[in-house]
Amino acid sequence: MTNKNQSKLEIDIAVILSEMTSVKTDIRDIKNKLEKDYATKEWCRSEFGGTKTTVNGILVTFGLAIVSALATFVIKGGLK
């Protein structure tokens, strides 16, 4: 390899490393902005609990309402 080619290769590597550093900085900045300005999955889980727990709670509530209504209907005499 000639001295000129080696020098060009070293410059190319230096440019690539500089661009990689720039990309890493940009990614870090974007990540920090997203974590600061938007709700993360971890934050939502810590504030509201898991989705499965919420859905199960809603289903149990509706189920109890339906069972209570049916029980009241049967106790009052149903369809006479």
Mean pLDDT of 45-70: 88
Question: For residue 42, is pLDDT > 70?
Answer: yes
> Taking the chain, what is the end-to-end CA distance rounded to the nearest angstrom?
102
Query: 54 and 48 in contact (C-beta within 8 Å)?
Result: yes
Looking at the chain, the whole-number percentage of residues with pLDDT higher than 90 is 29
What is the rounded distance in angstroms from the CA atom of residue 47 to the CA atom of residue 41?
10
Q: 1 falls in which pLDDT band (50, 70, 90)? A: low
Instruction: Tell me how far the alpha carbon of residue 45 is from its chain's centroid.
Output: 10
What are the extents of the domains in the chain? 1-38, 49-80
